[in-house]
Amino acid sequence: MSPLAILMSAFILSIVGLGFFIWSQRAHLTDPSTEGSEVIFAAGEIGTPEEPAAPSGTTRPAADADDAELAARARADASTAPLVFFFYCCAFVWLLVASAAGLTASIKLHAPDWLTAEAWLSFGRIRTVHLNAVAYGWAPMAGLGTALFVIPRLLKTELVGGRYALLGAALWNAALIAGLGSLAYGVSDGLEWLEIPWQIDLLFVAGGALIGLPLILTLRRRQVAHLYVSVWYMGCALFWFPVLFLVANFPGLHHGVEQATMNWWFGHNVLGLFYTPLALASIYYFLPKVIGRPIQSYNLSLLGFWGLAFFYGQVGGHHLIGGPVPGWMVTLSIVQSMMMILPVAAFTANQHLTLKGNLGALRQSPTLRFMCLGGLMYTASSVQGSFEALRSMNAITHFTHYTVAHAHLGLYGFVSLVFFGAMYFVIPRITGRDWPWPRMISAHFWLASTGIAIYFVSLTIGGWLQGRAMLDESRGFMESVLLTLPYLKARSVGGAMMALGHVVFAAHFVRLLIARGARRTAAGPFATAAEGI
């Protein structure tokens, strides 16, 4: 079959498949009522922002809101508080570990004779520690912690089986400590994103299953008819990840170059079907909540969700363009990478329409600032990724630092910023204390956003020039190495700013915990819960 025919049939199959899916999943697709998107508010609460991270006095409790519903939400928050607190504490630790490892790796690329005496500090190992501390530490701990906080609120019930999740999180973190230790010691399975030895992966599987269990138990006790958008993303992510992880790490199953296709099926899906949905779910919940107004279009969110579910899973082959793998598979992945523009556009339009006229809230709300910038970065990194998958562009950017810049735009600019925003909202609710120093939130925001901007711009330019140099056979290979040096140094500057931002964030959290005479958030339902029940 000719490539064009494959391309066309993949395209048509995708469209038909997606249409069928949305049709089969729809509930009153053309129903003009916005009931589905209003489920996150109590009766009479629309129009009232909830922003626990804003300086005290800028948010008021909703005067007209149904007290019983607010009390129920406070009980939902209270049911998750100790659990989410544990997840977030772990997230802070892994964030700092990952920052230190990442910054070390970055500096080593332009100072290769720095810290060479110890094997565990060599670039190949410390870089791997950085990636795994982000991939299995910071991102899942922050994302799952947020999911466990949000899900009972969305289902209007208390969390059921939180103890399983606590045990699961303990196992998960024990596995990660063992995993990072073995990587530093020099025991690795040798596949990117799947380096942690499969024997340790068994612990992750057990821990992950225990963390997912409360979701099912809580779903069965739900008090709402409508499953809100965030539940779709979080619910599916919690089912997708175990499938990905089990199939990918199954010992002895994969052989030869098929291991490479499986590797990138996993590598890209852990981003697209785990971190991305957890972060999008957070935006879909916190953004309307903070501005006090339901999302604009329920149907656009439906398209965004099923589009992501359908297309994202098949894009991994674009990591192997030009490699020794079947051509049809690479072509399929390129087509589906371009198709991802569809759900991304749906999400972007929805976010924009919801925010329209509410941009003033950005000044008041730290949560919103992180979320909005994160949402913009989702659009930017997704569109960039789609074009990066095209053969003409991939020929230049593949194998260069350009890809590294893109990966950080997605996992930092989008996912991490969104999780920062969520944590600023959730922590006052689960601890019953205000953030003591609003200026430190600003410092964190500007360090993180300026840092990633420097990181991304410098590495994108450096990577592009590197790729152009490698494609020109008249230029020696060393030229492609030497020309990247100024950009690699700039990346270390950006990375250092990001790391400093994380230190500020963590120090602020510690300050909140040890604050004397802990103040309850004036507007928070947590206060209501503690006093009124």
Partner 1 sequence: MHSETRLILGGLTTLAVATAALVVLPYITIADSAPAPGLKPYTPTELRGREQYIQHGCVYCHSQQPRARAFAPDAKRGWGRATVAGDYAYDDPPLLGTMRTGPDLMNIGARRPSDQWHLGHLFQPRAYVPGSIMPAYPFLFDMRDSAEPGETVVALPPGTVPEGKVVVARPAALDLVAYLKSLDRSYPALAADQ
Nearer Cβ to partner 1, position 82 or 322?
322
- For residue 273, CA distances in Å to 118, 276, 278, 463 come to 37, 6, 9, 27
Q: By the 8 A CB rule, do 392 and 374 touch?
A: no
SS (H, E, C) 400-428: CHHHHHHHHHHHHHHHHHHHHHHHHHHHH
Q: How many CB atoms lie within 10 A of CB 158?
A: 17
CB 249 within 8 A of CB 183: no
> Closer CB to partner 1, residue 319 or residue 433?
319
Q: Which is nearer to partner 1, 154 or 448 (CB)?
A: 154
Residue 433 C-alpha from the chain's centroid: 26
284 vs 435 by CB, closer to partner 1: 284
Residue 262 Cβ, how far from partner 1 at the closest point, in Å? 5
Closest separation in Å from C-beta 232 to partner 1:
6
> Which lies closer to partner 1 via its Cβ, residue 310 or residue 420?
310
Q: Judged by CB, which is closer to partner 1: 80, or 480? A: 480
Distance of closest approach, residue 458 Cβ to partner 1, in angstroms: 16
Residue 292 or 316 having the CB closest to partner 1: 316
| 471, two tokens | 């494609």
DSSP per-residue codes, 264-308: HHHHHHHIIIIIHHHHHHHHHHHHHHHHTS--S-HHHHHHHHHHH
- Provide, rounded to whole angstroms, the least separation between the CB of residue 261 and partner 1: 4
| Smallest separation (angstroms) from partner 1 to the CB of 186 | 4
Pick between residue 173 and residue 230 the one whose CB is nearest to partner 1. 230
Q: How many CB atoms lie within 10 A of CB 478?
A: 9
The answer to whether the beta carbons of residues 86 and 167 sit under 8 Å apart is no
The structure tokens listed for 13 are 């199959």
**Would you say 419 and 378 are in contact if contact means Cβ atoms under 8 Å apart?**
no
DSSP 34: -
Residue closer to partner 1 by CB (options 175, 234) is: 234
Query: Least distance (Å) from partner 1 to the CB of residue 43?
Result: 20
Q: Report the C-alpha gap between 417 and 138 in whole angstroms.
A: 12
Residues 6+ positions from 268 with CB-CB distance below 8 Å: 312, 315, 316, 318, 319
Measured from the Cβ of residue 353, the count of other Cβ atoms closer than 10 Å reads 13
Smallest gap, in angstroms, from Cβ of residue 199 to partner 1? 16
- Element housing 130 (H / E): helix 123-133
Indicate the length of the chain as a whole number. 533
Minimum distance from residue 191 beta carbon to partner 1 (Å): 5
| Least separation in angstroms between CB 50 and partner 1 | 24
